[in-house]
Amino acid sequence: MNTFRQHSKTRSRAVLVAGGAGFLGSTLCERLIADGERVICLDNMQTGTTGNLAALAREPRFSLVEQDVCDPVPRSLEVDAVFNLACAASPPRYQADPVHTMMTCVMGTHHLLDHCAAHGARFVQASTSEVYGDPREHPQREDYWGHVNPIGPRACYDEGKRAAETLCFDYRRGKGGGGAVDVRVARIFNTYGPRMRPDDGRIVSNLICQALADQPLTIYGTGEQTRSFCYVDDMIEGLVRLMRVDPAPDGPVNLGNPGEFTILELAEMVLDLVETTSRVAHEPLPTDDPQRRRPDVSRAETHLGWRPTTPLSAGLPPTIDWFAGLVQHRRADRRAPVAEASALHGVA
């Protein structure tokens, strides 16, 4: 098995997953444990939950450090590899405290890169398709520099992630102090699947939860804007391959599913799959909402031998089952407050 430990000096080290209690992070932690790694999850529980880590609670190779990445990482954490997934990903979540979002992206990435420099560890940064902003080139290739409003409500995330990429490549060039870091940057496009929070606010979770509750499906604007939706298992495979590939690709790598859907098409698919009385209801389009988004994944194919294998039609049913399971759980436990969906999966 090609693990991250091949290049380490000691065998007592571990993989650190910052943001490991979130949707993608907790799925990644489980995958790494299944692969035989020792995993340290570092998370401030802003959008992550201890419930997401329930399957790992008794796992001796797993540990949780509750900490904000805006604070320096304890030097005593011996690591071979760091995945930086720490940052709320949903627009309502990251806009709720925009200064903290920016600091998470910039100070958090800086602290983790410093930690990698000190320990000789590899680093994978969870960047985002948002670095392309409201793109003028379509589909988006990694050599496109993007079209981002630097002062709008999305800027704390978009510009934070762009600045984090800048830090990554300066550390890679050895300009961060403490030696060059072996950095890899994934530009993640919209990813969905089981373990998203019902109150997350992103489109897939919103539409499914609304359909399950017989509520109107909220479509912002005309619904003609597009997104490309990647199933969580495909994304985790891409991230793991990016960490393990040798040598590192010399620039960022798009990870996402090239299938492109309008938001109305997604709503129609959800209405087809869920028994519901819901209908769509249009609401105002948020400021700076990107109109089109589709990844060109040819770099990922070339460097990682990776391409997503789960079409939206195959990924939606297990995602709907996950949310339906939460609703059933809520109905079964009459003591749980109905509005407190987060309590069902152990929000700290």
**Residues of the shown chain interacting with ligand UDP in the complex, contacts defined by CB under 6 A:** 90-91, 190, 202-203, 206, 218-220, 225, 227, 263, 286, 289
Orientation angle between helical segments 23-34 and 232-244, nearest 10 degrees: 60
46 binds ligand NAD (CB under 6 A): yes
Residue 69, contacted partner among ligand UDP, ligand NAD, none, CB below 5-8 A by kind:
ligand NAD
310 binds ligand NAD (CB under 6 A): no
Residue 48, contacted partner among ligand UDP, ligand NAD, none, CB below 5-8 A by kind:
ligand NAD
Pick from 86, 36, 33: nearest CA to 58: 33
Tell me which stretch binds ligand NAD (CB under 6 A): 3-11, 82-90, 146-154, 337-345. Answer: 82-90
89 binds ligand NAD (CB under 6 A): yes
Pairwise CA distance, residues 80 & 273, whole Å: 43
DSSP label at residue 141: P
Pairwise CA distance, residues 235 & 256, whole Å: 7
Residue 245, contacted partner among ligand UDP, ligand NAD, none, CB below 5-8 A by kind:
none
Distances (CA, A) of 309 to 107, 181, 242, 320, 334: 35, 31, 17, 19, 39
47 binds ligand NAD (CB under 6 A): yes
- The SS3 of residue 135 is coil
Tell me which stretch binds ligand NAD (CB under 6 A): 63-71, 176-184, 286-294, 302-310. Answer: 63-71
Containing 219, the helix (H) or strand (E) segment is: strand 217-220
Pairwise CA distance, residues 234 & 255, whole Å: 9
Q: Which of 94, 132, 157, 192 is catalytic?
A: 157
Which of 70, 245, 264, 271 is the binder for ligand NAD (CB under 6 A)?
A: 70
Pairwise CA distance, residues 175 & 253, whole Å: 22
Q: How far apart are the first and last CA of the chain?
A: 35
Tell me which stretch binds ligand NAD (CB under 6 A): 40-48, 57-65, 267-275, 280-288. Answer: 40-48
171 is an active site residue? no
Least separation in angstroms between CB 300 and ligand UDP? 19
Pairwise CA distance, residues 185 & 113, whole Å: 12
Residue 226, contacted partner among ligand UDP, ligand NAD, none, CB below 5-8 A by kind:
none
- The SS3 of residue 25 is helix
Residues that bind ligand NAD (CB under 6 A): 19, 21-25, 43-48, 68-70, 85-89, 104, 108, 126, 128, 188, 190-191
Residues marked active site are found at 157
